[in-house]
Structure 1
Amino acid sequence: MSLIHKVESAYLQLLRILFLIFATVAIGFAVLLGVQYMARHNAKPEPVNEKIVLSAASYKVHADSEAPRPSQEKGIEKDALFEQFSNMIVKVGKSAVPDFSVNREAVRNIYDQLLHDPKLGRDFIEQTNKVLPQIAARPEVTARLQRDVGGEFDAILGHLRNEYKEQGANIGDKKAAAESEATELRASATQGLYGAGSLFVAFVGLILLVVLLKIERNLRSAKVVASV
């Protein structure tokens, strides 16, 4: 065998080894991307705790001029929850001012506004029935109720409304972010699938080249033997 044939054979052998290495890497990445696709193509949003919890400790005493007063609307559906709400207001008022009394129609207006607010509703009223008395029991709040029971009650209720809506908005943002992340994962899974397909095609092509090189090498060897 001439020197040129030996060098050519060595180069073909080296090329075959390189093709095998590239083919192994290609099939490895194809399998990895395929596994990622299986894990991501049905990605679901991360669960978000949708429970809103009002806290009595979150209420801060404001100056009289800063006390928010919620607007009132007429009309109400009388039910057991309304009776609890009304009784809670009376109890809170009498705890600060013994001769306190309420205009039941005004309480109905407030209740109706809370009940039919799409961002509040019955859950907010139920929590308010529990949390507002806790706030009113704080000494600094009791003192303000004694000075202006109506104004301080409006301030507390306004704060609870804002806190509840803010928590609801935060939950909505978290759900939107979780859904967006899941959508991105599903999109990346599709791209990964395309990548896996491309690598698999590359793998098949490299294996075919290795086979062709092997055939070409065998033919050369047969010719050399025949020439001898």
Structure 2
Amino acid sequence: MTDWALLRQVVLATGDIEGAGALVREKFRLGKGFADPELDTVGLADDTMALAGGSYLELVAPSSDAPMGAALSRWLAKTGGGGYALSVQHSDAEAARDRAVALGVRLAADQRVMGHPIVQFHPADAGLLLELDGIADPEKWFWDGMGVDPSPDALIDDILRVDAGVADPASATALWTEILGFGPVEKHTFDLGGRLVYLVPKADRPQWTITLRRSPLGGGLTDGDLLGVELRYV
């Protein structure tokens, strides 16, 4: 069994990274984000915004026809955008990778970033693009010290829950349980450091529902859709 696993980033895909970033910042009063320079080499533009609770909202868009950019372009053509990937900080990402490979799961990525192992599992096998980030200290994250600081005026301060649509929740739950090294999981629900991921039957729109925690300034937020996902607030 794994020592721990934390949901760190929820990734939304869009065809317009600048427009989507401006929309999210305006709606939630978030500060400037961080663009991972390594993603451009695989055809992706990104914009990662920090929340005070330690989680991050990330936007990705195609930037070229390099492999991951081309794959995202095809996905956007089919779906129009929305919930795309989950990044989970894991105590032993390499062991999780080995368990996945033994189960026949294909890897979308297997590399080191800033000295840490990063593994992505193919969405056709895992139900969605699941990334595990092997940063050994649960108090540390990639963007610490990069200037991606939470805005003191933000209307939200953490991600509490993601209802993510997958084709077969029961099969995906069994697979994730094995890969992550979890004990028995009930109701297709994974507790990832107090942030919950529910694997639910895939619907046409929206495929994901994200529950966000209001900051003390966020009392005026009302539930609704944004960038192809349904947003709820508590």
- Place the TM-score, normalised by the shorter chain, in its bin: under 0.3
Q: For the pair shown, which has the larger CA radius of gyration, 1 or 2?
A: 1
TM-score by length of 1: 0.19
TM-score by length of 2: 0.18
Q: Which has the higher contact order (CA 8 A, sep 6+)?
A: 1
